[in-house]
Amino acid sequence: PVYAADSPGIMTAPIASLDDLLKDCRHNALIIGPGFGVSDETCSRIIPLLHYCRCTVLDADALTSFAEQPSTLFFAIQGPTVLTPHEGEFARLFPDIEGDKLSRARAAAKRSGATVLIKGADTVIAAPDGRAAINSIDAPWLATAGSGDVLAGIIGGLMAQGMEMFDAACMGAWLHARAGADLGPGLVAEDIPEYLPVLLSELWHALPE
């Protein structure tokens, strides 16, 4: 009700259970973690969701909740999945992986079976098959509450439209950073999705005819 009242463009609907919701194959992507809370209950709620093999983005509390049992999370990953930790969340989930950011991302992706995106000034994205990319757009103004949640949503939205998980993570990181760089000082998280149509239109018109 809160989202429905604040944002008419967001479609909401009551659900009896997540099982009923996910039986509908049109619901083909999940973003899990923001606002979940860090607890064993969070872990027990996430594992069954992963069994549906939907395109999934795991962020924030969904990562930290598995700090004591990361192998449980990795074993449950079956569908296309993107992990989006910042450095602190990465260290909790992969405490034994050391080295430079690129090599750590690649090692984590290989271990988890997911595409791993380590957030930061030089966001690094790595796929389980060894592909990797670095997004070097400098946008320090993205260090604001909720910005990472928006990034997770962008990636999830791209995957829902059929984009492969590594490509979605790379594209999401670029869109997120470009929005931050263009909007500049004073931005809040809510500004980022509002700016996406500008960037998407720019990309569309840059396509060869």
Number of folded domains in the chain? Answer: 1
Backbone angles phi, psi at 78, to 5 degrees: -125, -40
The CATH number covering residue 182 comes to 3.40.1190.20
Q: Which domain holds residue 154?
A: 2-206
Residue 12 has pLDDT above 80, yes or no: no
Specify the pLDDT at position 15: 76
Contact 169, 162 (CB under 8 A): no
pLDDT tens-digit profile of 139-167? 999 999 999 999 999 999 999 999 999 99
Higher pLDDT, 132 or 12: 132
Beta bridge partners of residue 29, listed in sequence order: 55
Contact 150, 179 (CB under 8 A): no
Give every CB contact of residue 52 below 8 A, 6+ residues apart in sequence. 22, 30, 79
pLDDT tens digits along 113-142: 999 999 998 999 999 999 999 999 989 999
